Amino acid sequence: MGLSNFVYMMVFALLTAGAPLSYAWGVDGHYMVCRIAQSRLTSAASSAVLDLLPSGANGDLASECSWADNVRTAYPWSSPLHYVDTPDNLCTYDYTRDCHDSSGNAGYCVVGAINNYTTQLLQYPTSTYNLTQALMFLAHFMGDVHQPLHVGFTTDAGGNSITVYWYTTKTNLHSSDQVSQWDACGSSSADCANNFATESIQDACSYAYKDAYQNARLNDTYFLSRKPIVETRIAQAGVRLANLLNQIFV
């Protein structure tokens, strides 16, 4: 067993120890996205972010980047804002067609949420909205929109319903896809949230879902071949979050 195998085994030992898997696992990816982002802020954006962060954050944006996952129960309306489901196997994303919650309310998907919280933050420093929450939501959703399985197939609920096996350990595709998020770095250019979602569904089809059919037995070939994709997506999310915040706080 190589070192990387050992790391994956540790990850799965941790994952299987507690539920919900995808939230617990997502903390590391989101943390890295926000660390990358905060290091790239202009002084104006940096000041605004420090001003808006709750005092418990001690000025560290990354420490609040999973806040949105922690309030999914308290704010049930926010749950559909973490992802967007697209028609099975179509491998395309369309805002009008896909960005809604299960009751059909338009805008209730990750792309609509990014636009919503961007608009709110543009009112800084005064708004009727809680801009501390707007910042924490935006920082989180910019990570989510870059995760291939947060832009996934409708009947699969973002990779959570396809059961796969890593060697013999039963897990779900969402958590196994995110294994490689432990490592990161790279760079990319800014673009709009719709494009991020399109990239993610393309990655989901080309990499994440590919070979991970129902009850598939995933091995190192699967994980190691996906690792660069996940690293790139984390780096892109961090760079793009910084660009967005730099444009908002001028």
Ligand X SMILES: *[C@@H]1O[C@H](CO)[C@@H](O)[C@H](O)[C@H]1NC(C)=O
Q: Which residues bind ligand X (CB under 6 A)?
A: 54, 77, 81, 107-108, 112-113, 116, 129-130, 132-133, 219-221
Name the residue nearer to ligand X (CB basis): 36 or 212: 212
Nearest approach in angstroms of CB 214 to ligand X is: 14
Distance CA 61, CA 224 (A): 30
List Cβ neighbours of 225 (8 Å cut-off, separation of 6 or more). Answer: 207
Shortest distance (Å) from residue 27 CB to ligand X:
18
By beta-carbon proximity to ligand X, the closer residue of 116 and 175 is 116
Taking the complex as a whole, how short is the minimal distance between the CB of residue 115 and ligand X, in angstroms? 8
Residue 158's SS3 state is: coil
CB of 178 to ligand X, least distance (A): 19
CA–CA–CA angle 104, 110, 112 (5° rounding): 65
Which residues in the chain belong to E strands, given as ranges? 84-86, 151-153, 163-166, 169-172, 217-218
Alpha-carbon distances, residue 202 vs 24, 134, 199, 241 (angstroms): 25, 28, 5, 21
Least distance from ligand X to the Cβ atom of residue 228, Å: 17
Of residues 6 and 129, the one with the C-beta less far from ligand X: 129
- Residue closer to ligand X by CB (options 34, 239) is 34
The secondary structure of residue 236, as a DSSP letter, is H
Distance CA 37, CA 41 (A): 7
Among residues 116 and 172, whose Cβ is nearest to ligand X?
116
Q: Output the smallest distance, CB 85 to ligand X, in A.
A: 15
- Least Å from the CB of residue 69 to ligand X: 14
Q: Mark 209-223 as b/e (b = at least 16 C-beta within 10 Å).
A: beebeeeeebeeebb
- Give 148's DSSP letter: G
Q: Based on CB atoms, which residue is closest to ligand X, 64 or 184?
A: 64
If the CB atoms of residues 36 and 135 are measured against ligand X, the closer one turns out to be: 135
Give the helix, strand, coil percentages of the chain, each rounded to 5.
60, 5, 30
